[in-house]
Amino acid sequence: MNIARLIHPGFWFGKTPLEQALTLAKRGVGGFCLYGGTRAEVAAFTTAVREASPLDHLLISADYEDGLGRWLPDAPLLPSNMALGAANDDELAFEKGLLTARQARSLGVDWVFAPVLDLANNPLNPIVNTRSFGADPACVIRLGRAFLKGLKQGGALNSIKHFPGHGDTSTDSHLALPVLHQTEKQLLARELIPFQALLPLADSVMLGHLLLPEIDDKNPASLSSTVADQLLRQQLHYNGCVLTDALLMKAIGDEKEAAWKALQAGVDILLVPQEPEKLISFLEEKQVSPEILDRSFARQEKLCAFAKQTPRPEQQEAFNVGDYAYRTARQALCAYPSVTPLTRTQTIHYLEIGNQSAQSAEPFLNTLRAHRISLQKYQGNAQHLLVLCFRRYQAFQGKIMLEKEEISQLQQALQKAEHSTCVFFASPWAIPATLPIEQKLFTFSPSPDFQRAAAEVLLGLYPPQGHLPISL
């Protein structure tokens, strides 16, 4: 039995050498988790590593939480989970899962690490945010179930995450270890409710890198037998595949010792280590027990069996999403407290802020221009200030709020403006609630379809129909 199969390395297109991945595939790793690439690159990679692998089937996974467009520049960005929470429509959640699965499978990706079942109950959480369906466990269960059914029908494996839930923390686990001070009883009464309800539909469970001192004050959940074995397996009766969150994240310290602890705790797959070759050699020296190997291999074989029996759709068909994103946007946009339509009799000065991903605002601006709204970039004075906030969660960022300089700039602009409207194209919590913004429009997504829908709401073409799935 090859210990390498316990490990699923990451592969970053444009960064990781292909030869390194081929060497790992030949060595017998169980799969790869992909980051970035184009459709053609992903399809070519999945073919190449499978041809190099001695395994009957090599599992390929990715974090396609908002469709493949979150990682691939030539794939459509699907609505965020929080947008689905605002639309509150099971059919839209199912459709997102189905589209994601079909697109992933068309490129040779078997396994989508989604959905996020963490609750969006902490505005300062820098990494959950719009990845969550919302703050209400019942809503998360209903939409999560629909999404999972869509993934299944589309032929993709799923992974519910991040068990037991780290929505109510304010630390980015990519940088440090979040701490959640809740007892098991408290977890079962809130954070664990979606997981417990959806475990019967889970192909796998991803453990979160977070510390629960009232349950295990020494080990993060991802390395804790109290969490992985006693809570998840024994108490909640889950017998499927369990994997760590990415081991390269800074929350868990030395990855070799962390990996060893995780295996002893009942984890089956070690995901995305920083140095996979060294970890394989380390585990070979440590001599992992046959019981652990048998357990992991059997659960991986079950996943492989499903992946192998699922037909691979044609790319052209899979990536034809029609008007899905626009239909979702029409149901998802939320106003607070209300939105007064813009008029052609005044010049609107717009200020883009928090746009660390250099997201284009042209779909939004061009829609307004097409209806003869006079727009100018903000240059220091404005009667009506239109703020376009693109701040979104981003791994290794460590925070979700605007930078101090941006907040100061916005504060000064608001003081000079007679009227103000802010469109939140991503995080609903990016701007401090204390700033005097007259009216707010939340889209929960920066995709072109959501931008166009936001402009149409501001034009008064239709009212915002969504309901906030979180507390401001």
Looking at residue 230, the DSSP 8-state letter turns out to be I
Q: Tell me whether the omega of the peptide bond preceding residue 162 falls within 30 degrees of 0, making it cis.
A: yes
Residues 389 and 337 sit within 8 Å (Cβ to Cβ): no
The answer to whether the Cα torsion of 333, 338, 341, 342 is positive or negative is negative
Helix (H) or strand (E) holding 403: none
Q: pTM value?
A: 0.95
Each of the 472 residues of the chain gets a pLDDT tens digit; together they read 799 999 999 999 999 999 999 999 999 999 999 999 999 999 999 999 999 999 999 999 999 999 999 899 999 999 999 999 999 999 999 999 999 999 999 999 999 999 999 999 888 887 789 999 999 999 999 999 999 999 999 999 999 999 999 877 766 566 667 888 889 999 999 999 999 999 999 999 999 988 999 999 999 999 999 999 999 999 999 999 999 999 987 667 789 999 999 999 999 999 999 999 999 999 999 999 999 999 999 999 999 999 999 889 999 999 999 999 999 999 999 999 999 999 888 899 999 999 877 789 999 999 999 999 999 999 988 999 999 999 987 654 556 778 899 999 999 999 999 999 999 999 999 999 899 999 999 999 999 999 999 999 999 999 999 999 999 8
pLDDT at 180: 86
pLDDT at 398: 54
pLDDT at 167: 73
Tell me the three state secondary structure of residue 320: coil
270-271 and 334-336 as β-strands: parallel, antiparallel, unpaired? Answer: unpaired
Which residues, 6 or more positions from 74, have their beta carbon under 8 angstroms from its beta carbon?
Answer: 38, 39
Which residues, 6 or more positions from 201, have their beta carbon under 8 angstroms from its beta carbon?
Answer: 145, 148, 149, 152, 158
Q: Which domains does the chain have, with CATH numbers?
A: 3-318 (3.20.20.300), 325-458 (3.40.50.1700)
Residues marked as catalytic:
174, 245
Tell me the three state secondary structure of residue 264: helix
Residues facing residue 353 across a β-bridge:
389
